[in-house]
Structure formats: C-alpha cells, structure tokens
Amino acid sequence: MRACSLGGSFCALDLRLRTGRVGEAVAVRVNCSVSLEMDEGGLDTEGKMYASRKQMWEEEAGEDAAGNPKNALKKQEWYHKGVSYWEGVEASVDGVLGGYGNVNDRDVIDSTAFLAEIFKECPPSKSSSLVALDCGAGVGRVTKNFLLHHFHEVDLVEPVRHFLEKAHADLGGITEGNRAVNFFCTPLQEFTPEAGRYDVIWVQWCIGHLTDHDFLEFFKRARVGLKPGGFFVLKENIAKNGFVVDKEDTSVTRSDAYFRDLFKQTGFHLYKTKVRT
C-alpha cells in the first residue's frame, strides 16, 4: 500500500481491503496518534496460522523483529520468489492487476479525486514543474492513465524488467507535454531517489512485498527525494485483521492497525486516509 508537508507529515492514502489483489472503499480522516498495542496474528493463503508478525517474518523471511537477518538466504528467497512470480506474468494492464483489468478505470477515478483533495488542502509550489515518482510502476499503468495528467514529469521504479521495458516502449518516446523521464529497474528495498526531486512519491499495490524492516527503511530513505511540502501517497489493499501472507507471490496484506503502527515508526504524520469498500 502508497502528508502535506513532510516536515513531520506522512502522506495519506487510501487504504483498502478485501480478498483479491484489488480492493476498494469510503472515506475517513485519521490522526496517527494511535499505536498498535497488540501484535495481532495472521494467516497465509494455504491456511497456516501465525501467532504474531514476529513469528511470521522469522519463518517467511528469516528476519527478527528488529529487522536483523537471522537467515539471510530466507530473505533473499522471499524477494526472489516475489520477482520470479511477476516475471511469469504478461506485461499488460490485465496482467499487473492479477486478471482484474476492469478495475483500472475506477482506480484512476479514485486516485484523481484523492490527489485533488490533497492539492486543494496543500497546494503544490507553482514555481517549478511538478514531478512524481511511480513506485512499483509495472507496465506504466498508473503513470500513463493518472500521473501524467497531473505532473510535468514522472519517473518510474519497477524491479520486473519486462514490465519496465513495456512501460518504456509505451511512454519513453513522448517528447512533448508531460512525460515519463526515468525508468529505474530496481526493487524498492534497494532504491534511493534523487534528493529533492519529487512533489509526490506514489506507492501503489507493491509495498506488501517488503518486510516490515525494509518498509520502514524505504520510507525513511525515500524521504530525501521529496521537495519541501512534498508527500507520499500509499495506496494498498488492507486485511480486516492482522495480516495475510500470499504464498504465491510472497507478499503481505496488512491490516489498517498494522499499517498505522508502521507509519508511526517511520516518524511521519499520517495526514489523510480514504477507504473504499
């Protein structure tokens, strides 16, 4: 899953849930002063139960609660399996949406409305071109259908090479008007953006592949990429309770409480959320 001024503010997002890769939902404002007092358990898509996040991450990625590698090979395997899964998926909108290509139009409408609310409340600087970073960009679906309509330049970061090649083929030749500029074939856990380049860092339907430790480190590291007043948007599916581990693509769907706990640990302020059911 993806604050108005990053002087302590975290981006808001619409968190969403349900079964399947794409969820939807209604709108809510929150302040992120709450913390998760109980480490809820969860399960995986094969029915295995986990008593806690700690147990799950140790077993699935060989990582302890502090993010220290207890088994480096298991962590490598966690990320390798995720990329390998998507390397076997066709480079199309339907492919990157897990067969739910019909969700694209509604997704774009929701994202457009959410961004409009943020820009109305926290207008971007008019002194320079607006620039966005599309994280987990896939074939460039979000960039093409949404971000390029609102930002002068968009950079894409995506670890699956044939997805990014498709995005570059479709978007890299645009030379007039708003355009896709940089195409980074890098996983988020290894990516650091150029300092002060982005008005918005948009993270959609990809953060579940990161372990908790790498989730926190990514947002702390990526913070340097924001311009003054810039913000993150995280758009992600949410679980009703605890978490669900997808054994097919090695990703985790986290609950709203789980996300809020991680947001708090980043040191950012959760400014706004929307949830669509």
Between CA 80 and CA 166, with CA 24 as vertex, the angle to 5 degrees is 45
Question: For residue 102, what is the DSSP state?
Answer: G
Burial class (CB in 10 A: 0-12, 13-18, 19+), 192: exposed
Confirm whether residue 55 is marked as ligand binding: no
| 270 beta partners | 10
136 is in an annotated binding site: yes
Buried b (16+ CB within 10 A) or exposed e, 197-217: bbbbbbbbbbbbbbbbbbbbb
141 is in an annotated binding site: yes
Asked if residue 204 belongs to a known ligand binding site, the reply is yes
Q: Kindly give the interhelix angle for 53-61 and 72-87, rounded to the nearest 10 degrees.
A: 80
Which residues are documented as binding site for S-adenosyl-L-methionine?
136, 141, 188-189, 204
Which residues are documented as binding site?
136, 141, 188-189, 204
